[in-house]
Every structure is written in structure tokens, then in C-alpha cells.
Amino acid sequence: MIRPLRQRHRVIFCALALVLPLAFAAGVAARKPVPVMAALPSAVGGERPQFDSTIWERDDLWTQPPMRARLLAGKTNRLAVELIAARDIARADVIVYWVPGDPKLNDALPDNAVFLGAFTRNGPLPLPAEAAQQAGSLILYSLADHEIVARSKPLTF
């Protein structure tokens, strides 16, 4: 009784050992290629405003990590900030927020934080209109770790 079952299992496992790798290879070969775009379409990405004049450039706003902040102005009197890190920040998905006033920060962002954009080297981050009228701070926040990475000293634009 046991011998016929063992023989049947041996035949089934040998057949699976031949069929499964072939099925896996066929599935991988039949996959559609991943679509790649060089840039976002203008309808999605939108036109980035041009900021051509530098108002100030400071190295003393951030203690850790050391970085340079540049305040830029455009032709439409919009302001933008450009952050240039001296070395790479070893955190995942770092994004930049502007917080009006000087709130006490725990490990979470305040409710009135304004999203500026991702912390990349792609150019300046436009500031909201209220940033020109009141003091505030810039905050680097790691979206992957859900924690505040750094906070700038309070500044007025």
C-alpha cells in the first residue's frame, strides 16, 4: 500500500521539477516591459516658474545636516528656496515643509505645515504667499521613517 503511493509521489515530483521552471521562465518572458518616461507631461508636471534673482544665501540656518539655503525671487515676485546639502542625507523620502511661526515640535509635523516639495537637487521649491508675510521655519521630514530629520532656525523672507 505504501509503495504505490511513494512511486506516484516520485513521478509527480519529477514532473513538477521539470514543468515548474519552464512555466516560470515562460511567465517571465511573457511579461510586458515597464513603461519608462524621460519627463512628466506638462499637464501633469506643470510649468515650473523661473526664479532668476538671488535675494540671499545663508549657511547658518541648519546645524545638522550642514546645508546652504538660497532665497530666490522670480519675475512675478514669487519666492522660492533652494536647499543644497553639503553631504547626502541618509534618510529615505525626505520632503520639505514650511511651518509658520515658531511652534514646539515633537516627532510629528504641526497641522499648519505647508508642503513645499521633495528634497532633491532638481531646483528651487516655491514658497507659499504667506511665507513672505510672517516668520517661519523649514522642516525636513522623512516620509519613510515618519520623523522630523531637521529643522531650520526661524527665518523671515
Those residues whose C-beta lies under 8 Å from the C-beta of residue 2, and which sit 6 or more positions away, are none
Higher confidence at residue 47 or residue 75?
A: 75
* C-beta of residue 84 within 8 angstroms of C-beta of residue 102: no
Burial of residue 5, with CB atoms counted within 10 A of its CB: 0-12 exposed, 13-18 middle, 19 or more buried: exposed
Expressed in angstroms, the distance from the first to the final Cα of the chain is 87
What pLDDT sits at residue 46? Answer: 59
Dihedral over Cα of 112, 116, 119, 124: its sign: negative
For the entire predicted model, the pTM comes to 0.68
Res. 41: pLDDT tops 70: no
The H or E element that residue 42 is part of is helix 42-45
* Distance set, CA 43 to CA 39, 46, 48, 61 (Å): 11, 6, 12, 35
The single-letter DSSP state of residue 1 is: -
Convert the pLDDT of each residue in 88-146 to its tens digit: 788 888 999 999 988 788 778 888 999 998 888 777 888 988 888 889 999 999 998 88
Q: CB neighbours of 53 closer than 8 A, spacing ≥ 6? A: 72, 73, 74
How far apart are the C-alpha atoms of 12 and 41, rounded to whole Å? 53
Residue 15: predicted pLDDT: 97
SS3 92: coil
